[in-house]
Amino acid sequence: MSTTEEHTAVTLPCVLITSSDSKFKEEELIKQILNSKTLPEPTKREEAVVWYPWTINNKYYTADVCLCAVPDTYRMSSEIAQATQAFIAYFDSTVQDGLEKLQPWISVVEDLAPEVLILVCDRVCENGVTRHEAHQWCLAHAFELVELNPQELPDEDDDFPESTGVKRIVQALNANVWSSVEMKDGHNQGFDLMSSLVASRHNNPRSRPDPPSSSLPEEGTLNNEENSQTEGSTNSTTRDEAIVDAMTNLDIQELANLTAGDADADNFERLFTKLKEMKDKASSLPHEQRKLHAEKVAKAFWTAIGGDDDEIDGLSSGEES
């Protein structure tokens, strides 16, 4: 593989796909996403990690991404981490410890903070992982549950039936604002996609506060030096918030103006472009500032489109649980 090809493979946005079920390989889910019986030629292969190309092509935009099969956390690399914008995890729902096998990924996902988080199984199982248990896990970790073969299908008479199975996965990936996106000309119903974007964020709320770092000592064990470090960390967070506030004020104002404008194609395209600009800007920030930026923008955007403040209470990682 040439240097150019290798560079492209790791710089394109990545959908990280993993499976904790030894009977269900990542490639099987990739074939379903691509709606193909065979896999395309990989753009890169590094031992057990394989990158497969995918061009998302809908009536609004195209985006080149990589579907990256990563069997376990030990195979993670900085290249994968920097490129990951979506995370899909398959688990075995027929065994009671099916979700526990995904535990090593939790800290990785919290560090990466990808826009799309999907938990996948064949279907929930009363003798293994129940629907309630799967939903509780998803709420705790801000995932969306998708059953590939759900036992209960949406009502056909429903005017707006929910998507299920791999169709829902593809829909969620199409609704993401990819860093490689290229808008198409002549889309006449652009705001339909924005509605999908908003629905995706609403159905997958990240309303839980960040857990305390495992590196922090337990309560009651702080000495004077550690107290000083904590105070310094608090001051640093305050400075971070001030920086983020100053940087996002103009962005938030423009978002509000765009969402208050006429719902035509030009206005939608500018709104979509603005979201991508803000995402690119945030990607250059340190981790804590990036989280603050994302939280404030998400809140401002939700308010701008008429969302209820009660529905996003607790979004900020700085709020108490």
Q: How confident is the model at residue 264 (pLDDT cuts 50, 70, 90)?
A: low
pLDDT at 60: 82
Q: Identify the residue with better confidence: 152 or 135.
A: 135
Greater pLDDT, 9 or 84: 84
User: Among the listed ranges 6-20, 75-89, 238-252, which one has the minimum average pLDDT value?
Assistant: 238-252
Better-predicted residue by pLDDT, 288 or 32: 32
Say which range, 37-41, 140-144, 225-229, 250-254, has the weakest mean pLDDT. Answer: 225-229
DSSP letter for each residue of 98-134: TTGGGHHHHHHHHHH--SEEEEEES---TTSS-HHHH
Strands 84-90 and 44-46: unpaired
Is 150 domain-assigned? yes
5 by Cβ neighbours in 10 Å (0-12 / 13-18 / 19+) ranks as exposed
* 124-163: b (≥16 Cβ within 10 Å) or e: bbeebbebebbeebbeebebbbbbbebeeeeeeeeeeeee
Give 172-198 pLDDT, tens digit per residue. Answer: 999 888 988 888 875 434 434 444 443
Residue 302 confidence (pLDDT): 63
- Flag whether 132 is in a domain: yes
How many beta carbons lie within 10 A of that of residue 8, not counting itself?
17
Residue 201, pLDDT above cutoff 70:
no
* Same domain membership, residue 176 and residue 281: no
Category of 28 on φ-ψ map: left (φ > 0), alpha (ψ -120 to 50) or beta: alpha
pLDDT at 84: 96
Do 40 and 172 fall into the same domain?
Answer: yes
pLDDT for the residue 185 = 74
Whether 8 maps to a domain, the answer reads no
pLDDT given at position 279 = 66
Q: Are residues 176 and 261 in the same domain?
A: no
> Which residues face 19 on adjacent strands?
90
Rounded average pLDDT over 241-245: 49
Give a yes or no: residue 224 inside a domain. no
* Res 7 pLDDT > 50: no
Tokens of 247: 């940087």
What pTM value is reported for the model?
A: 0.60
166 and 38 inside one domain: yes
Asked, for residue 216, whether it belongs to a domain, the answer is: no
pLDDT at residue 319, as a whole number: 43
Share of the chain above pLDDT 70, in %: 52
Regarding whether 163 and 23 lie in a shared domain, the answer is yes
Domain that holds residue 56: 14-183
The least confident of 14-18, 61-65, 186-190 is: 186-190
Q: Are residues 277 and 163 in the same domain?
A: no
Domains in the chain: how many in total? 2
Condensed to tens digits (0 to 9), the pLDDT of residues 289-308 reads 666 667 766 666 666 555 66
Please tell me the predicted confidence (pLDDT) of residue 193: 45
- Which has the higher per-residue pLDDT, 94 or 261? 94
What local confidence, expressed as pLDDT, does residue 177 receive? 84
Residues 258 and 174 in one domain: no
Last residue of one domain, picked from the residues 183, 209, 229? 183
Q: Is residue 100 pLDDT above 80, yes or no? A: yes
More confident residue, 321 or 106: 106
Among 59-68, 111-120, 206-215, 232-241, which is the least confidently predicted range?
206-215
273 vs 136: which has the higher pLDDT: 136
Position 225 scores a pLDDT of 45
Contact in structure between 311 and 295 (CB atoms under 8 Å)? no
Instruction: State the pLDDT at residue 181.
Output: 87
Checking DSSP bridges between strand 61-69 and strand 49-57, what pairing results, if any?
antiparallel
Res 311: pLDDT: 57
Residue 172 and residue 36 share a domain? yes
Domain assignment of residue 9, yes or no: no
Position 204 in a domain? no
Model confidence pLDDT, tens digit, residues 142-159:
999 999 999 876 655 554
Is residue 278 one of the residues assigned to a domain? yes
Count other C-beta atoms under 10 Å from residue 35's C-beta. 9
